[in-house]
Amino acid sequence: MQRPEQPELFKPAPLPTAELPDAERLACLRLIRSENVGPVTFRELINHFGGAQQALEALPELSRRGGAGRTIRLCPKADAEKELEIASRAGAVSLFTIEPNYPALLARIEAPPPMLYVKGRLDLLNMPAIAIVGSRQCSAAGAQLTRRFADELAQAGFVVVSGLARGIDRAAHDAALSRGTVAVLAGGVDWIYPPEHAELQERIGREGCLVTERQPGLQPRGKDFPRRNRIIAGLAHGVVIVEAAMRSGTLVTARYANDHGREVFALPGHPLDPRAAGTNGLIKQGAMLVTEPAEVLEVLQPIVGRKHRPAAHDGSGGATHFDTHRDNSIQAGPIIKSAPPQQPSSRDAADVMRAVLTALGPAPTGVDAITRATGLDVQSVQIALLELDLAGRIERQGLSLVALKGAS
């Protein structure tokens, strides 16, 4: 399959140039930690009100209009101050989507994390990057191949991103650390996991970069690892899968990479090795089979605007994507600049809410479909959905799909 044209998400997004004042930084954190405020809601609130402090002040009234039966819980100022203080003691800084150093590639995924805690070299977050992930119980050959790929890709100027897990992740970080590596953590930036990686994590926090969306001091839970994997995929232009069993968290990273429009590369393995079942399966589905780092560079260097060396091998003609039905029209996530205001609906607020509730159901529905079904303008629908979200009455799936909670 010929590699399709690259979507717009590979072009750097214009980002704000001013750092957040301390008061607005605190308000942003309070907003994120307040009840029913997820990534999409955070963005909608900032877009609508133009700042976190104004959004915080409006939350109680918005949730009441959405039908909340009680007062929404706002994050206390003291709690947010304490969290930032603990992060600072751990050597980490907070980075919000509306700040200039927030990773531009990650910002373009659907519903990016509103805030990251980062420790180390922030400059690595906006350099060309490749993720390398694989099995925790890797083979000796798999570890050797990982070190080779990581070393040569780092020499070519790519930051190597991985998840600081045992096995393949460790080998990738070790090989790339001297040139630039980013470790995405499933727990707090000060939580060592796995324990035997304490020294490596300390070195990456000093010479590379540690990234997490979790609060300081929080131990990683099972559900945090897939969330970490979406960040790994979001930070990189492509993902190299070295070894992965058929039921492996590594395949979650590959799926996220595909959904984000990233390139997916897989190293083939022996058919009788269960650690190769997942990677071989990806190749069957259309991921690019690679055996040499030059094959990865041949695909990625043109994407990041660099002249690439002709490969010394007879290449396969380009990378493919294992989900041919992927929607490449992912919208940029963090740009907190409101669109020109539309003429609001002349219908009263109660009528608008009834119409939106009628259009919603248990199945995820697109905002555009709700707009067409109700005859309302987009702005009125978005405000109604924001109120319902803060009242805990809807579930969001990405930026554009919503479903009514408890509908039958």
Pick the CATH number of 122-303 from 3.40.50.1370, 3.40.50.360, 3.40.50.450, 3.30.300.30: 3.40.50.450
pTM above threshold 0.95: no
Note the CATH architecture for domain 349-404.
Orthogonal Bundle (1.10)
pLDDT at res. 100: 85
pLDDT at res. 18: 56
Amino acid at 215: Q
Q: Spell out the residues 6+ positions from residue 331 whose beta carbon is closer than 8 angstroms to its own.
A: 110, 399
- DSSP letter assigned to residue 218: P
pLDDT at res. 248: 86
To 5 degrees, how large is the angle CA 119–CA 120–CA 126? 100
Ranges of the chain whose pLDDT falls below 70: 1-18, 306-347, 407-408
pLDDT at res. 233: 97
Residue with tokens 């400059």: 123
Token digits of residue 371: 């707009």
Q: What is the DSSP string of 245-268?
A: -SS-HHHHHHHHHHHTT-EEEE--
Cβ(263)–Cβ(300) under 8 Å?
yes
Burial of residue 166 (CB within 10 Å: 0-12, 13-18, 19+) is middle
CA distance 199 to 183: 13
Please, what sign has the CA dihedral across residues 299, 109, 87, 24?
positive
Please, what sign has the CA dihedral across residues 280, 281, 286, 287?
negative
Q: Spell out the residues 6+ positions from residue 314 whose beta carbon is closer than 8 angstroms to its own.
A: none
Domain boundaries defined on the chain: 122-303, 349-404
